[in-house]
């Protein structure tokens, strides 16, 4: 028997940090889950039939290019199918971007704080990460710092996570025009915002836009995403993509969900309505709250004695958890340590959240 198998592992693998996802409970009964920005509504009713119809075909490999999905997405966004690639969640597409455009000599850039998966993916390519810090917790876009970052690939999350801040398209185009790099605009939350970067594709051939069906289409458990760009970049990403990277049932589920426009719009409307109620609730409490363009909201709790900061945020986070309400607390960064992030849930879930927060405010006194 070999005593220590780690001696077979390259040092850069042993030294890297794995991504830590939000808490996923084994049992959802009697629990309100508002911590990982999932859609609180089930997928379109058409998804169930579409998935069931594929079960008898599971002995066959899936269509390797997810061609029907490429054609549908291209049609929805007035693009050619050569401008679309499908992935196993948008994380798969982000990984392909790092695989194609980063190495030991080509750095990756990102905003800080932002999606913590970016450094994880970068480390697998033995590349270095350049983190562009926000000036303060208003999370205004540091355009000049990004364009001068000297990287080969830059990840820009818009709307931004974890703040929910929307960056205007004029600023995004300015970055795409001035940066000497591939710009990936991660639009995981774009369906909850007022605009997106798709119109910029005709003006910026270094632009890649990634999307996920986890948030607005209720398919987090199915893992489907897509990227759109120039045919040249899509061809490069296709060349480093795993074969059969999306299974039959996920392809069928995604096609059904994307085709049911009425259901999508109805769920989106409900989430936006609850998001507006949440913003009103927190601002009336006097809590500093960013006007979100995503399906979550970031707010800075104030306890009954008027205190804000890490202690108050941690206290509320733990209090909610004890009451079976799970939210997200990013305690490891100076711009987020005094805040909590709350995914937008159903009306019932959000009302339960507000009642519990009011109890916390009273008990803290």
Q: Which CATH architecture has domain 5-41+262-364?
A: Alpha-Beta Complex (3.90)
Torsion angle defined by CA atoms of residues 79, 83, 87 and 90, in that order, rounded to the nearest 10 degrees? -70
Every domain of the chain and the residues it spans: 5-41+262-364, 46-260
pLDDT given at position 15: 84
Length, in residues, of the chain? 365
Q: Which residues pair with 65 in a beta bridge?
A: none
Report the DSSP pairing between strands 108-112 and 129-133. Answer: parallel
Q: What DSSP letter does each residue of 249-265 carry, written as one string?
A: HHHHHHHHHHH-HHHHH
Report the DSSP pairing between strands 225-228 and 340-343. Answer: unpaired
Q: With 0-12 CB in 10 A as exposed, 13-18 as middle and 19+ as buried, what is 244? A: middle
Asked if the domains at 5-41+262-364 and 46-260 fall in one CATH topology, the answer is: no
In the predicted model, residues of the chain with pLDDT beneath 50 are 365
Q: What DSSP letter does each residue of 9-69 carry, written as one string?
A: S-HHHHHSPPP-PPP--S--TT-EE-SS---SSPPPHHHHHHHHHHGGGTTSPPPTT-HHH
pLDDT given at position 164: 98
Cβ partners under 8 Å of residue 248, min gap 6: 54, 57, 58, 60, 62
pLDDT given at position 136: 97
DSSP state letter for 168: P
pLDDT given at position 364: 59
pLDDT given at position 9: 86
pLDDT given at position 222: 95
246 with 66: CB under 8 angstroms?
Answer: yes
The CATH classification of domain 46-260, taken from the options 3.40.30.10, 3.40.50.2020, 3.40.640.10, 3.90.950.10? 3.40.640.10
């Amino acid at each position: 028997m070999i005593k220590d198998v780690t001696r077979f592992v390259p040092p850069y693998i042993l030294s890297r940090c794995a991504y830590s996802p939000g808490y996923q409970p084994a049992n959802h009964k009697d629990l309100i889950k508002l911590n990982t920005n999932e859609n609180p509504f089930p997928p379109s009713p058409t998804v169930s039939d579409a998935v069931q119809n594929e079960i008898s075909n599971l002995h066959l490999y899936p269509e390797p290019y997810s061609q029907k999905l490429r054609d549908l997405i291209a049609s929805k966004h007035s693009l050619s199918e050569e401008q679309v690639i499908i992935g196993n969640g948008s994380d798969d597409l982000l990984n392909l971007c790092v695989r194609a455009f980063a190495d030991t000599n080509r750095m990756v850039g990102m905003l800080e704080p932002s999606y913590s998966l970016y450094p994880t993916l970068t480390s697998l390519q033995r590349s270095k990460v350049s983190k562009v810090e926000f000036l303060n917790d208003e999370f205004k876009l540091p355009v000049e710092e990004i364009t001068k970052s000297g990287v080969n690939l830059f990840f820009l999350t818009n709307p931004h996570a974890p703040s929910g801040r929307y960056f205007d398209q004029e600023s995004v185009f300015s970055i795409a025009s001035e940066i000497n790099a591939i710009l990936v605009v991660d639009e995981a939350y774009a369906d909850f915002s007022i605009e997106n970067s798709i119109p910029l594709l005709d003006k910026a051939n270094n632009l890649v836009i990634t999307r996920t069906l986890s948030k607005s289409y209720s398919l987090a458990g199915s893992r489907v995403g897509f990227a759109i760009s120039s045919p040249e970049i899509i061809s490069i990403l296709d060349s480093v993509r795993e074969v059969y990277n999306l299974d039959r049932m996920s392809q069928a589920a995604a096609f059904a969900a994307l085709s049911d426009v009425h259901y999508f719009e109805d769920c989106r409307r409900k989430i936006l309505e609850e998001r507006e109620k949440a913003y009103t609730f927190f601002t009336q409490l006097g809590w500093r709250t960013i006007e979100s363009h995503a399906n979550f909201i970031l707010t800075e709790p104030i306890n009954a004695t008027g205190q804000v900061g890490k202690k108050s945020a941690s206290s509320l986070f733990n209090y909610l958890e004890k009451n079976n309400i799970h939210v997200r607390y990013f305690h490891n960064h100076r711009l987020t340590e005094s805040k909590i992030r709350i995914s937008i849930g159903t009306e019932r879930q959000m009302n339960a959240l507000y009642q519990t927060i009011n109890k916390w405010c009273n008990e803290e006194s």
